[in-house]
Amino acid sequence: MQFLKKLRNFMGKSTLLIVLYISVIQHSNAQELLLQSRLIWDNQAGIKPHFKGAIYENEQEILPFFQQIIPLKSAQVEEIYLQSTQESDFILPNTSSNKTIDEIYKPIFHVAFERGKPYLFLKFLPFRKEGSSFKKLENVKIEIKYGTNSNATGFKKKPTYAANSVLASGDWVKIGTTQNGIYRIDYATLRGLGINPDQLDPRNIKLYGRGAGMVPQQNSKARVDDLKEIPILLQGESDGKFNPGDFIAFYGESQLNQWAYNENTQTYSFVSNLYCDTTYYFLTVGTSQGKRISKIPSLSGESATIGSYTYLYFYNNERANLIKSGKVWVGEEFDRITQQSFNVSVPYLITSEPIKFKSSVTARSFVESQFTVQVNGNGILNQTCPIVRPSFEDPYTCGLRINTTNFLSSSPNFTVNYSYNKPSSGSIGWLDFFEIQAKAELRNVNGNFVFKDAANMGSGKVTKYQIGSNRNLTVLDVSNPIDPIIIEGTFAANSYSFTCATDSLKTFAAYDGSNYLQVTNAGKIANQNLHSLTNPDGFIITHPNFIGEAKRLAEFHNKKDNLNIHVVNIQDVYNEFSSGAPDLCALRDFFKMFYDRANTVAEMPKYATLMGRASYDYKYRQKPNSNFILTFESNESFDPTGSYCSDDFLGFLDDAEGGWDIGNNNGELLDIGIGRLPVTNETEAKQVVDKIMSYYTSTSFGSWRNKLVFTADDEDNNLHQNQADNLANSLLNLYPEYNLEKIYLDAYKKESTAGGARFPEAQKAINNSIQNGCLIFNYTGHGGEVGLTAERVMGIDDINSWTNGLESNGIKLPLFLTATCEFSRFDDPLRFSAGELVLLNPSGGAVGLFTTVRLVFSGTNADLNQKFYDNVGFDSVSQLNPPHLGDIVRKTKNDYNVVNTRNFTLLGDPFLILAYPYYGVKTSTINSTDVAVFNDTLKALKKFVVTGFVTDKNGTKLNTYNGVVYPVVYDKFTNYSTLGNNPPLSTAMGFQMQNNVLYRGKSSVNNGDFTFSFVVPKDIAYEYGYGKISYYANNDLKDANGYNNRIFIGGTADSSAKDTKGPDIQLYLNDTKFVNGGLTNQSPKLIAKLYDENGINTTGRGIGRDLMYVLNNNQTQAVIVNDYYQATLNSYQSGEVKYDISNLAAGKYQLKFKAYDVYNNASESTLDFEVKSSEKPSIDHLLNYPNPFNNLTTFHFDHNLNGQDLNVLVQVFTVNGKLVKTLQTNNLATGTHFDLLHWDGKDEYGDKLANGVYIYKCKVYSPGNKTIEKTEKLVILN
């Protein structure tokens, strides 16, 4: 408590400090400089003032906040001093702001913790008023005064947790209760629960649980650790046998009848359990005697007598979540039916006492509307619902309108009638709930009832309760429902009375043995012991359906990354931390237990993977549902901009945290990195685990790891393009070893279609960038659950078509970062979002996404995007110990801690490490001159020889590294401009890319060294400037990257060899066995092998001088394939293009391929082929060669089953039909030409067949049991 006391002093003194603020502060020895910061104001920001790192509370807010999260030496903070060291004049924008600008800067601050370390959370408006004018802050200095007994780590006394769960041993049965009252478990019930009562000692029967209600959301509130033994009554246990007449009785609770009392208003409020309607308990037969309910005598002496109690009634028919987000579900709809009635009965109502009534309604109406509430025809309440606006970003309804009133009823039975005055045809109203609190006579109701009353509650007060009842009544004090006590009373004149202290609100359960409640059987529980787990680096929390795949993923990381990951069944978490009931806070408490147990930061858990999809429908009200692992849903359930779901809640593990939607949403810091794999079945789980594991294989090596792609939406006054371009340029300056591709929609021609505006070329570029691979794909702009941009440049069909995750294509899986709206919502059971499909696509897509689940704001998106790259791990220090995805996401969110960040989530594996190239690559010499002193210019048509070496992370040459390096020589930056397709929302914007490739090579690395040569193409930009050599290397174990961006390029060589001949071209489909005119499927792979004595031109700078192909001479659909050219190992003269042609219709085609050499000499080659749908397997050109033959022939045919495993059977017959030979082979996924079956002309017995004509039948079996059959002749000539 010392820390909390100091924090209160700190907050109190901060208020005093603000009042006494002066411009120049007096320094004391105890003051220390905490932060000195310059605010870099953007003078081009227009009416919205902006500085680097500015925080806006929402998109509509005009004035930004200065916010910093600053590491502290100690959590013991006495005072904070804020000094402005420089200010400037500021003109307040005419646009109104809801922020009040004061005469002094007023900081808001508190101490927060991240992984045990204290941080100062500081926020203030950097403007102040001076007379009639305003000032803005330019430079600020923050100083701090620490308290005594400084504690640098912030570690505190740890809560005590059980070393082992009670569920670790013994036999257990889980039972459920749904009402408040006394339950009975008799001989027959035990048998129904799977317990043999004849083989147990009833004295050892024990009941465990924690009672009803949710686990407290705030970490600081008390809770039950593991399960607590609950005292029970056991009739007939004294003989040590459970006889047929014996039974167990205990007090059980309902999740649907829990109330909180407010002493100030003297009213009750219903407390809903968001997650579950059943309260669970655990029954076992132990080895020692169980707890039994004790008795206390009734008090004697002076007391107040009460013969009444407060009857509580709650009506809530949860039918609909109006925006499919948030916690609130409303009930009856008032649309076509505008009046609805509800009957209420209050047993033994005291009609002279007023009934308290609370009502909650909401409406969607573009004009003001109203509910009228009547009881038995008498109006008691009018509830006005304000108008809403029709915009998608505005609240869907007016929000909950909660009103209270009182009324009298002359009868215990009455009707509550709701009427909605529907002012227009589009107006709709909904009833949320109503509550009734009435005074009723205290009588025995049905022999089993619960009552409470606050009429005589207070310090030192004693109350005598009189209950109209028979003499068999027993009363229990169940104010602590897991420790009930019998209060002995007396019976006289049909009244049972007892007396007890009522210094606090008491709850009582009474029963007479005539009407026990019955438990439900939730099944036997296997032994478990989560409390005993030790030293976790993290957890995979999984639904039981996916536990096998969760274990496979954990074992992979444990071995690969030397981690200790525990796989945990989510139901086991509920059993030990919320008494078997689903509860999100139970999972948070599970994580917190290990966080609290840690004695050092290194011992704290770091990551958690949630394996299973979530749902906003916690209670399966609608079908189908996908509520495998819970997520946090906001209290806000009507405003799309304020409603969200988030897994972050599970990562706030310090004692003062957990206050989401209670008080503070963004003043808490994540302590573990959390990611989710939103799978719904075992197949999806296996596919996503396969995908993650494949990311680490040698087939994933490739220069795609050197590439970052930045994509931006158009319109909005170029906002998204500017944001993306600023971020991309900043990254390139910091990390030039990476190569950037920019895909800005407005840089492409916009086309009008029947379905709306489209950017087909931008769409193609995006798909190609995914197929070719990149380390990170970054999108900024508009989006939604079904794709990106209003022009649908990325939709579900695109996502499902990607195959960049297939081993046959080389694993090239990016991390997606989408600064857009709800692209990856994972809690709508009726729709898989586009982002989910990007992850779940088994053939491609992404290895993970840092992405959005709800509406987000553009400004904060951009800032969060920047924070992501601040933490992504590209810097040299991070590369010594590369961060896991969980680290990146945790630090990003903590560094930019605003409400908007909660709408971002990690869909992916937080244990995963991005595919950063591991080692470095450096240039040694160019044309035998040390690169440090090389000052020559790379001129067109001149040959250059470059040497270099692979280094370790410290820059030292790796003499044992042997592999392949892939150098790419880039020309200078090229200036581009967007087109301004839609002015004024889109205007022309300039940007630069370094994307013209002068040479793309492939060279051997021997003992760390490599050499490559190339001739600079004629097609360069002839102005002089700096180009770049980009390197990627790998040896199937570790890869490397590097760069040299100080090579000067421009002009033409003084002399060059004469060359007038174009490149040699050889064309194939799928593999080099393909023959002209052959058969293929709808998506063949084009292979173009090229050779030229001076090299191939791939710059793309000369108009029309590209590597390109056309189909059927359709020049308007020419496909440029410069980026797909790869030189042959250790040769600049030869290479090949591999390009996937997709979605060809059935029919015959002619492909014409054109190539240029570096001298701009052109060549063309053609290839004919026929496409047949792979849905209808086909073989063609069946033959054997040679034919006739003597001692060996090979069977050939073309087919349209490229990439599929085939079983080929050839049967040889005489002309009379006698089978003489059967040949068979399995053809593992190859191209579309088969030639793997050979025959020596001998029969089944090895004897040579006679000369003559024979018939052979070829059968091809494809996956799915499809069979193709064809017959031909052959001739044997011995």
Does 1 score more than 60 pLDDT? Answer: no
Per-residue pLDDT at 26: 36
Per-residue pLDDT at 27: 38
Tokens of 504: 């606090």
In terms of domains, do 758 and 623 share one? no
Over residues 893-922, the mean pLDDT reads 93
* 178 domain residue, yes or no: yes
Q: Which DSSP symbol is given to 601? A: G
Report which secondary-structure segment, H or E, holds 11.
helix 2-19
Residue 1249's CATH number: 2.60.40.4070
Per-residue pLDDT at 100: 78
Distances in whole angstroms, Cα of residue 323 to Cα of each of 386, 634, 661:
18, 12, 18
Give residue-wise pLDDT tens across range 167-177.
Answer: 999 999 999 99
Over residues 905-925, the mean pLDDT reads 98
Per-residue pLDDT at 901: 85
Residue 1163: CB atoms within 10 A of its CB come to: 16
Report which secondary-structure segment, H or E, holds 572.
helix 570-577
Residue 362's CATH number: 2.60.120.260
* 779 domain residue, yes or no: yes
Q: Are 542 and 553 in contact (CB under 8 A)?
A: no
Does 153 score more than 80 pLDDT? Answer: no
Domain boundary among 907, 936, 962: 907
Give residue-wise pLDDT tens across range 1043-1052.
Answer: 999 999 999 9
Distance CA 821, CA 861 (A): 10
In terms of domains, do 125 and 264 share one? no
Over residues 1239-1243, the mean pLDDT reads 96
In terms of domains, do 56 and 138 share one? yes
Q: Count Cβ neighbours within 10 Å for each residue of 734-762 and write b for 16 or more, e otherwise.
A: ebbbbbbbbbbbbbbebeeeeeeebbebb
Residue 970's CATH number: 2.60.40.10
In terms of domains, do 245 and 344 share one? no
Per-residue pLDDT at 10: 31
- Name residues whose C-beta falls within 8 Å of residue 1216's C-beta, 6 or more positions apart in sequence: none
Per-residue pLDDT at 45: 52
Distance CA 634, CA 838 (A): 26
Give residue-wise pLDDT tens across range 712-727.
Answer: 999 999 999 999 999 9
Domain boundary among 1171, 1206, 1225: 1171
Does 74 score more than 80 pLDDT? Answer: yes
In terms of domains, do 828 and 877 share one? yes
Over residues 85-97, the mean pLDDT reads 79
Does 9 score more than 90 pLDDT? Answer: no
Name the least confident of 12-21, 59-68, 700-709, 910-919.
Answer: 12-21
Over residues 1179-1199, the mean pLDDT reads 94
Residue 66 C-beta-side C-alpha neighbours within 13 Å = 26
* 760 domain residue, yes or no: yes
Name the least confident of 33-42, 481-490, 1096-1105, 1120-1129.
Answer: 1096-1105
Q: Sign (positive/negative) of CA torsion 213, 218, 221, 224? A: positive
Does 860 score more than 90 pLDDT? Answer: no
Does 215 score more than 50 pLDDT? Answer: yes
Per-residue pLDDT at 25: 34
In terms of domains, do 873 and 763 share one? yes
Does 16 score more than 50 pLDDT? Answer: no
Give residue-wise pLDDT tens across range 336-390.
Answer: 999 999 999 999 999 999 999 999 999 999 999 999 999 999 999 999 999 999 9
Task: Mark out the alpha helices in 841-948 (DSSP H runs).
Answer: 858-871, 876-880, 885-895
Provide the pLDDT confidence category of residue 21 given band limits of 50, 70 and 90.
very low
In terms of domains, do 467 and 577 share one? no
Does 1204 score more than 70 pLDDT? Answer: yes
Provide the pLDDT confidence category of residue 651 given band limits of 50, 70 and 90.
very high
Q: What's the mean pLDDT when you consider all of the chain? A: 92
Per-residue pLDDT at 898: 79
Residue 1134's CATH number: 2.60.40.1220
Q: Are 1187 and 1204 in contact (CB under 8 A)?
A: no
Residues of the chain above pLDDT 90, percent: 80
Over residues 988-993, the mean pLDDT reads 98
Q: Are 503 and 459 in contact (CB under 8 A)?
A: yes
In terms of domains, do 417 and 488 share one? no
Over residues 172-201, the mean pLDDT reads 98
In terms of domains, do 1213 and 1158 share one? no
Residue 818's CATH number: 3.40.50.1460
Tokens of 1102: 């000369």
- Name residues whose C-beta falls within 8 Å of residue 637's C-beta, 6 or more positions apart in sequence: 321, 322, 323, 325, 326, 327, 328, 643
* 744 domain residue, yes or no: yes
Give residue-wise pLDDT tens across range 951-986.
Answer: 999 999 999 999 999 999 999 999 999 999 999 999
- Count Cβ atoms within 10 A of the Cβ of residue 662 and give its class: 0-12 exposed, 13-18 middle, 19 or more buried: exposed
Higher pLDDT, 921 or 900: 921
Residues of the chain above pLDDT 70, percent: 95
Distances in whole angstroms, Cα of residue 673 to Cα of each of 65, 113, 608, 647, 661:
27, 15, 6, 10, 21
Per-residue pLDDT at 1056: 84
The helix/strand count (H/E) of the chain reads as 13, 80
DSSP secondary structure of 157-193: PPPP--SS-GGGSS-EEEEEE-SSEEEEEEHHHHHHT
Provide the pLDDT confidence category of residue 1278 given band limits of 50, 70 and 90.
confident
Does 996 score more than 50 pLDDT? Answer: yes
Over residues 1079-1096, the mean pLDDT reads 94
> Among candidates 908, 865, 1054, 1041, which has minimal Cα distance to 966?
1041
The DSSP bridge partners found for residue 1010 are: 948
Q: Are 421 and 370 in contact (CB under 8 A)?
A: yes
* 666 domain residue, yes or no: no
Residue 561's CATH number: 3.40.50.10390
Over residues 136-158, the mean pLDDT reads 74
Does 156 score more than 70 pLDDT? Answer: no
* 674 domain residue, yes or no: no
In terms of domains, do 694 and 740 share one? yes
Name the least confident of 15-19, 44-48, 876-880.
Answer: 15-19
* 912 domain residue, yes or no: no
- Determine the structural domain holding residue 125 and report its residue range: 2-146
Give residue-wise pLDDT tens across range 779-834.
Answer: 999 999 999 999 999 999 999 999 999 988 899 999 999 989 899 999 999 999 99
Give residue-wise pLDDT tens across range 265-279.
Answer: 999 999 999 999 999
Domain boundary among 886, 907, 928: 907
Over residues 1128-1140, the mean pLDDT reads 96
Name the least confident of 693-707, 930-944, 983-997, 1170-1184.
Answer: 1170-1184
In terms of domains, do 343 and 366 share one? yes
Provide the pLDDT confidence category of residue 1262 given band limits of 50, 70 and 90.
confident
Distance CA 573, CA 586 (A): 7
Distance CA 1071, CA 1084 (A): 10
Per-residue pLDDT at 664: 54
Domain count, the chain: 8
In terms of domains, do 1082 and 969 share one? no
* 1059 domain residue, yes or no: no
